[in-house]
Structure 1
Amino acid sequence: MKRYGIFTLLVLLLLQASTGFAQGSETRFEELAPLIERAVAENPELKASRARWQMFLEKIPQAKALEDPMLMLKLDNLLVRDPLSTGGRDPATAKIIGISQQIPFWGKRDLREEVARSEAQTYKWGVEERKLQLVRLVKQAYYQIYSVDRALEVVEKNIKMLADLSVVAETKYSVGQGVQQDIYKSYIEKSKMLEAQITLQQQRKSLQANLNYLLYRPTDTAVAKIPDFNLPTLTLSSEALQQAAVEKRPEVKGLQSQVQKGQAAYRLAQKEYYPDFNVSFEYMLREKAMNDPGYDMYTLGLTFNLPFQQSRRQAQLAEASSGTDMAKEELNVLKNNIRSSISDLQAQMERYQKQVDLYRRGIIPQASQALESAIISYRVNKVDFLTVLDARINLFNYEKELYESQAQYMNKLAELEAVVGADPAAL
């Protein structure tokens, strides 16, 4: 009876280990939203992108501004024989003050402003695209840490179970109902689990450092446990997601701005066939000389360039046209990549979702029952130790694959969000 009581106690311990272990009280969970908020606010690469955008915003008023007016001061028609005399000796001598202003041909300033504004818009959407990719990286690091944490829990549970199995094997061996090989086998499997634990701990440290890098904080900053989550379900079709991507993806809008810039640059190049003007006004201060009363005089002038250099202007047109064509084709490439990526990501997400459902509803419950049956049968010597061990290893692999599939689903969802430019589950 005493031996039976010992076996019963050990079996109860193994059953408890096989069905899950009680989680300790958690004082803090690492929520995703604050991490994203910090990354968007503090990441230096994103700050650099914002500064670059602001730099190009300041080019807009510069592009439309007129050139500074030119002030002219001169002494006109001085006598060589009396170079220090500035008036009163000859009626043609005068002191002149003048001002001139260069004025581009009508429409050029507006087109220059449009080119600068479109270029600034390109960098603005570059900031939004960088923000989108940063959020994707934060989410992927976050869910990878979740997968590693859950794998560590499974490993810890298995280490405890293998320790209990070692006690059972030792007890059976001591009473002549087992073999010593079972004890050694349990020790070996426990050592393998300890090795897996070390590897997972190293992976978590690396992932934590990567997440802290994205958040621009010390790499050894602790990341708390990631809470459990439910997999969001997508309801939109591939066509609807592709249409949403064309409307919302910042990179698409950035390339559209480049197309607009090229078109404005082409119209500006066409304007180069028309002259720019220079308007001037001169006032001449004269003094009485000889019989001349010395009345003041003024001059109005209009000069303009002659646009004879056709080859230069033709090259400007060709350059602007090529830039527009390049932006259009890059936009077509991006749209094609978006279509391909959406279809591929949806297929992968569907696979991971089906795997999660299969593990939760079928494989893991069945594997748990198989383990419990193997432990009970081992107690009464109906199966050998390896059968119990194989059942436990199978359950361990299935539980680990469940969490990996959950994390992969969320990783692909983050990629899909970056491709579309918005959360697909919220559309």
Structure 2
Amino acid sequence: MKHCAGYSAVSRRLAQVCVLLLTLSSSPAQAEVALGASLPELLSYARQHNPALAAERAETEATHARAEAAGTLPDPSFQIELMDVTNSMRGGGTTILPGQVGETRYRIVQPLPAWGKRELDSRAAQTRAERAEATQAQTWLNLAAEIKTAWLRYYAADREQMLNDDALALLQALEDTTLTRYRLGLAPQQAVLRTQREITGRRLASITIAQRRQAAQAALNALLSRPASSALALPLDPPALPRLQPYAGLLDIARATSPALAAEAHAVEVAQLERDRTRRDRYPDFSIGLTNNQPRGGDASWDLMLEMMIPLQQSARRAREREAAHLLDAADARRTAAMASLEGELGRAHAAYLAGRESLNLLMASLLPQATATRDAARNAFANNRVDFDTVLEAEEQLIATRIQILETEVATRLALVELEKIVGELQ
């Protein structure tokens, strides 16, 4: 029975090895089929193929290009002015050809913003580009967390299927033993019927697990921008769970490295620059112009023009200043809210991870050996006719339930680790 119980797990491990060997020797077209064995390859693939991340990269590049153009002088304008197009002062017909009218004036005008406005525009655009970079980094962290979560669901369904297959193989072996003992008059018919009922229950559970596995596979493929039915390699065992430093240390790291906090900080800086830029509208803008006058039949001359904008619309300007001040208050409040949210999420994830890791250690070090010893003792006692079949079956079910509990606790702990890594960064 022991050999039968371990047959499914051994066969799955052999299948994993075969998949990896085929991956190393396969063509590039076949290599995609083996994707999914571990997280690093999935994350690398997502960096290159996820369209949402590609959109963020393009938008970030756009903000950098916009920052390069910010703060430059406006383009000058060129004017041509035709004086006395009817030629009434010199005699002749009406015309709009330069040089054939009374006088032709060629003028170039260059707008000049007030002192400091261009520098503020440039700094605001650069800060927006930095905020876009932080937003892109946060988008990647969110996407990576979704991929890790989907892969863990896929891993959990695969390992649960292995445990269910092991339990089914065990029950089938017990069925053979029970039938043999029933024919010899050593076991009641109820034992045979209960074994068969348990086998049917395991087969039904296998259908449910397969459905969860397929759903996890579809979700993972969607995050990788692959068809939902694309094949995935059998998941390998993830690395060991790391030891974490205290909450205060993780919070310091999060405050220094969190892209979400960096984006909100850049938003506050942009709002400050916009407020300062709005206040600069109290000062007038200027324009300078250079004019070449060419009278028909006369000597050319040059004119120099200086134009000043008069900021008379005080009510509109004050309204814009109030708007900029309120936007700064809103940005500062959003930064404070983001910090409070980060602290709360970090605290919950940290507590869940520590509790899960402690529970997992207790399950592995205490409950699993106890359940295994109970199962072995029940088997020996049943072989010597000291206990009935129900005792053996209950011991086997307890061991299977313990293994499933260990798997569920491990997955929950790793999901808490995913949340921590989304907030703090890589912890492995």
Which of structures 1 and 2 has the bigger CA Rg? 1
Deviates more, 1:68-77 or 1:236-245: 68-77
SS at match of 1:28: helix
Where does residue 141 of structure 1 map in the other structure? 150
- How far residue 61 of structure 1 moved from its aligned partner, in angstroms, is 3.4
3-state SS in 1 of match to 2:385: coil
Q: Is the 8 A contact 2:149 2:415 kept in 1?
A: yes
Q: Does the residue aligned with 1:98 lie in a helix, a strand or coil?
A: strand
Where does residue 39 of structure 2 map in the other structure?
32
The CA deviation at 1:51 is 1.9
CA distance in 1 between partners of 2:47 and 2:322 (Å): 40
By how many angstroms is 1:201 displaced?
0.8
C-alpha contact (below 8 Å) 1:19/1:368 kept by paired residues: no
Q: Is the contact between residue 241 and residue 424 of structure 1 (CA under 8 Å) also seen in structure 2?
A: no
TM-fit CA distance, 1:280: 0.7
- Report the CA distance between 1:184 and its aligned residue: 0.4
- In the alignment, is residue 80 of structure 1 matched against residue 88 of structure 2? yes
Instruction: Return closer, same or farther for 1:60/1:230 CA change in 2, 3 Å cut-off.
Output: closer
Deviates more, 1:403-412 or 1:259-268: 403-412
Change (3 A) 1:230 1:424: closer
Q: Is the 8 A contact 1:231 1:410 kept in 2?
A: no
Distance, in Å, in 1 between the alignment partners of 2:244 and 2:190 is 55
Question: Per-residue deviation at 1:239?
Answer: 1.2
Q: 2:139 aligns with which of 108, 113, 130?
A: 130
1:4 aligned residue = none
Determine helix, strand or coil for the equivalent of 1:216.
coil
Rounded to whole Å, the distance in 1 between the matches of 2:239 and 2:70 is: 52
CA contact (8 A) 2:8 2:165 kept: no
> Runs of 4 or more off by more than 6 Å in structure 1?
none
CA contact (8 A) 1:18 1:372 kept: no
8 Å contact from structure 2 (residues 59, 132) kept in 1: yes
Cross-structure match for 1:332: 336
State the Cα distance separating 1:286 from its structure 2 match.
3.1
Match of 1:101 in 2: 110
1:231 has 2:267 as partner? no
1:7 matched residue in structure 2:
none
Most deviating of 224-233 and 357-366: 224-233
In the TM superposition, what whole-angstrom CA distance separates every residue of 1:171-206 from its partner, at most 9, and x where no partner exists? 111111110010000000011111111111111111
Matched to 1:423, the amino acid is: E
Contact 1:65 1:109 in 2 (8 A): yes
The 1:16/1:59 distance shift into structure 2, 3 A limit, reads same
Equivalent in the alignment of 2:223: 214
* Match status 1:314 vs 2:310: no
Shift in Å, 1:17: 4.8
Give the AA of the match of 2:426: D
How far off is 1:271 after superposition?
A: 0.7
Where does residue 255 of structure 1 map in the other structure? Answer: 264
CA contact (8 A) 1:278 1:302 kept: yes
| TM-score where L is the length of structure 1 | 0.89
Q: Deviations over 1:54-107 (max 9, x none)?
A: 233332234323222121222335653636379xxxxx9432211111111111
Matched, 1:198 2:207: yes
Partner residue of 1:54?
61
Q: Which amino acid aligns with 2:39?
A: L
Letter of the aligned partner of 1:195 in structure 2? L
One-letter amino acid matched to 1:23:
V
User: Do 2:9 and 2:162's aligned partners in 1 also have CA atoms closer than 8 Å?
Assistant: no
Return the match for 2:390 from 383, 386, 389.
Answer: 386
Structure 2 residue runs of 5 or longer lacking an equivalent are 21-36, 96-100
Residues 9 and 166, structure 2, Cα contact 8 Å, conserved in 1 = no
**Corresponding residue pairs, total:** 401
1:211-243 deviation digits (Å, cap 9, x = unpaired) = 111111121122222222343323322111111
CA deviations 1:250-308 (Å, max 9, x no partner) are 111111111110011011001100111110111112355xxxxx433221110111101
- 1:22/1:296 Cα in 2 relative to 1: closer, same or farther (>3 Å)? closer
The structural deviation recorded for 1:22 is 5.5
Distance 2:113 2:388 in 1: 95
Q: CA RMSD in A?
A: 2.0
TM, length-normalised to structure 2: 0.89
Distance in 2 (alpha carbons) for counterparts of 1:354 and 1:95: 90
Q: Could you tell me which residue of structure 2 aligns to residue 10 of structure 1?
A: none
Q: Which runs of 5+ in 1 are unaligned?
A: 1-12, 87-91, 289-293
- Cα 1:93–1:424 change in 2 (3 A) is same
Identity %: 25
Indicate yes or no: 2:69 matched with 1:65.
Answer: no
Does residue 120 of structure 2 align to residue 116 of structure 1?
A: no
- CA drift at 1:19: 7.1
TM-fit CA distance, 1:21: 5.9
In structure 2, the residue matched to 1:348 is: 352
* d(CA) in 1 for partners of 2:187, 2:413: 45
Q: In 1, Cα distance between the equivalents of 2:322 and 2:145?
A: 39
Amino acid aligned to 1:296: A
Counterpart for residue 410 of structure 2: 406
The residue correspondences of 1:268-287 to structure 2 (distance < 5 A) are 268-286=277-295
Which of 76-85 and 56-65 deviates more? 76-85
Q: Would the aligned equivalents of 1:166 and 1:186 in 2 still touch at CA under 8 Å?
A: yes
The answer to whether the 8 A contact 1:266-1:321 is kept is yes
Q: Does 1:43 align with 2:50?
A: yes
CA contact (8 A) 1:231 1:406 kept: no
